[in-house]
Amino acid sequence: MLAHVFRNWIQIALLLFLAVIASSIPIAVDQRSSLKWGPCIWVRDRKCPDSDIKFFLFTSRNPSERQCIYVDSTWEKSNISTSYFNPLHPTKIIIHGYNSDMYLNSLIEMRDEYLQRGDYNLFFVDWSYLGQSPCYVMAVHNADHVGACIAQLIHRLLETETTDIHLIGFSLGGQVTNYVAKHAKPFRIPRITGLDPALPLYIGVGNDEKLDPSDALFVDVLHTNALVQGKVERCGHADFYFNGGILQPGCWSNGQNPIVCSHHRAPDYYMESIRSFRGFWGWQCESYINYLLGFCRPTDILREAGENCKNTTRGMFLINTNPNMPFAMGKWTDILSNTGLKSNLIEEYLAPIKRKNPLQDELDQWGKLDGNFNNIMNFPTPLPQDPANDEWVYFSQHGTKRITEHLFGTLLDETLERQRNDIEDNSLQAGSFDDGEKLQALTEKSANEPHNPIQDHITNPIIYREKVITEYVKNITGYEDTFPLPQN
């Protein structure tokens, strides 16, 4: 709540600052109750549909010629029914970011890859008029309104009984998807993919103001410029950090801006994943802190990122790429195999990772975190649990000894009972004797065999049980004395 208020004050302060330093540029209110300052627009009380938010449809029937889609409050007022939209095909809604438009090169290539892969309804959202440079503060504010209008599109599509809807948002468009999810309720969006969701003005805000796992049934996120233009914190059910997630290889050549290049690698990687034979495969890491500390060596627990990411994927994953296209390297385990390394060497390298978390191994060299503090089994016990009692099992030798007696006694009873049942089953035909005949048959059978401790248990089970337990406890603890056995 405090972070939300703080962000609002920052936005207001920036607006006032811009107004003061540029007082020569008039501030006007347009007919739709929006505050305008130069190229910047601050949306106020607008309703959808909004002519500043446009939708264009591409399908296999019109792969390059866009269809303008008009969406209104009812199906009859909209023109979806006269378009090439097919409710039997999967629907992708692609949202650009700040200071951009739907013709961003990687987004257009994404369209081409999808239509070469199969039949899709590809809706491109163009809200560039509300997200122009240098108006980032206004663009962040307008994101809520953009999300509301996209949600109106989704409501119209739902009237065709289609439910296979996937939102793909790049940069600030990734944060717009949060508002789409909010305004689309009660419908739960099946999948949202965030391509390096924007960081500025989204630090410390609540989940209702940013992309998070609650926004869809499955949220997957690609991080390529974390801590600069993109968020470093996890935003989805599955978060993939490419090449560490901050700066991307190949972005330092040919005079490129490494920050801009790294940020735009997110849609580049996703575009390539649509039809890649190798795929982008990442190994799991428990947290970004673990990665920074060097505790996330590659493992063979691999999950694929991008279009083919399974909706059951959960966790944080690290992925390495090539510096140039094709970026995908496939599974790193396949790369090692192709270099001639034997599989047993790979398994030997992976074995320590499989067995234990490296960070826990460093912090917990004595294995205390594997169980409770004293490495005593967690089980219900009838014995005292009061620390003031000298028989408290966790700090008293007597208490620990009585626990041992009780557990071993229970196991012994179960074992002896099974053995006695085995003798009866193997010696006697069920139903052929009455109880007296059974006892006589057992007695005669045991008289002709070497001494069997089972007979002691049958004739005097209490004495035999105490004898065995006392001997066992003496052997493993060194105690000569015994204690009264707990009552069953």
Summary mean pLDDT of the chain: 78
Instruction: Please indicate whether residue 171 is annotated as part of the active site.
Output: yes
Name which of 131, 122, 116 is nearest 91 in CA terms: 122
Cα diameter, the chain: 117
Q: Contact 179/146 with Cβ under 8 angstroms?
A: yes
Return the pLDDT at 255: 83
**φ, ψ at 225 (rounded to 5°):** -140, 50
pLDDT average, residue stretch 397-401: 49
Looking at the predicted structure, is the pLDDT value of residue 363 above 50?
yes
Q: Catalytic residue among 183, 223, 263, 406, which?
A: 263
- Which range is least confidently modeled, 236-245, 292-301, 419-428, 445-454? 445-454
- Residue 425 CA to residue 431 CA, distance in Å, equals 11
Residue pair 169/102 in contact (Cβ under 8 Å)? The answer is no
Q: Is the pLDDT of residue 74 over 60?
A: yes
Closest CA to 154 of 143, 166, 168, 142: 166
* Structure confidence at residue 299 (pLDDT): 87
Helix (H, G, I), strand (E, B) or coil at 18: helix
Which residue among the candidates 34, 78, 106, 171 is catalytic per the annotation? 171
Q: How far is CA 12 from CA 24, 138, 281, 370, 383, in A?
A: 19, 10, 43, 52, 65
pLDDT, position 329: 94
264 as an active site residue: the answer is: no
Q: Which of the residues 50, 52, 126, 196 is marked catalytic? A: 196
| Nearest of 131, 112, 218 to residue 170 by alpha carbon | 131
Question: Do the Cβ atoms of 41 and 138 come closer than 8 Å?
Answer: yes
**pLDDT (average), residues 446-454:** 52
Q: Which residue has the tokens 């010629």?
A: 65
Q: What is the pLDDT of residue 333?
A: 74
Burial of 84 (0-12, 13-18, 19+ CB in 10 A): middle
Q: Is 262 a known active-site residue?
A: no
Look at residue 115 and tell me whether its pLDDT is greater than 80. yes
Closest CA to 269 of 308, 297, 302: 308
The per-residue pLDDT for range 278-332, each reduced to its tens digit, is 999 999 999 999 999 888 988 888 999 999 999 999 999 999 999 999 999 999 7
Tokens standing for residue 178: 């949060």
Amino acid residing at 262? S
Return the CATH fold of 28-339: Rossmann fold (3.40.50)
**pLDDT tens track for 5-38:** 445 555 555 544 444 444 444 555 555 668 898 8
Tell the residue number behind the tokens 């007597």, with chain if given.
398
Rounded distance, CA 446 to CA 148, Å? 85
